[in-house]
Amino acid sequence: MIIIRKALKKDAGIVFQMIRALAEYHGESADFRATLEDVERDGFGESPLYESWLAEINGTPLGLATFFLCYSTFKGKPSLLLDNLFVQESARGAKIGEKLVKQVSKRALELNCCRMELLVEKNNPARAFYEKLGFSETADRVYSIYSENFNNLAALN
């Protein structure tokens, strides 16, 4: 039986390991900079910046969802961004990802969110999974700035 529960501070190490495993799965190990201390502070500290939920079978953590709130000034309500969804390779196909997404959507409704969003790369085979759950690709273009460009922009007078 799959149990979905909110991660506790004592789970920070598991959360960190799963986020790192997700980065490795996507081939982004070289860019992975988070530390266990970051997870403890920002996910479980005095003012958490995100929530983590775990999926377990027989007490063994096999899946993770992390998310945080954004705000829609047009709708006058928060929206939820599903940041990470990870299922251990050995547990894929057991509906763990689906159960995690359903739990996160329930949490979004509890938080009075007007929508739930996620960013998925064009070549990610999980796109079919998200579409099966009712997500749809939007025409919005997401822009990002980071690294040297970000530092240069912030330094402009």
46-56: per-residue pLDDT in tens? Answer: 999 999 999 99
Work out the mean pLDDT of the chain and round it to a whole number. Answer: 95
Q: Which amino acid is at 93?
A: G
Read off the pTM: 0.91
Greater model confidence, 97 or 141? 97
45 and 37 in contact (C-beta within 8 Å)? Answer: no
Q: How confident is the model at residue 142 (pLDDT cuts 50, 70, 90)?
A: confident
Q: Give the residue among 55, 18, 57, 11 at the shortest CA–CA distance from 34.
A: 18
The full length of the chain comes to 157
Domain borders along the chain are: 2-119
Q: For domain 2-119, which CATH number applies: 3.40.630.30, 2.30.30.40, 3.40.50.2000, 3.30.60.50? A: 3.40.630.30
Average pLDDT over residues 142-154: 89
CA pair distance 157, 138, nearest whole angstrom? 35
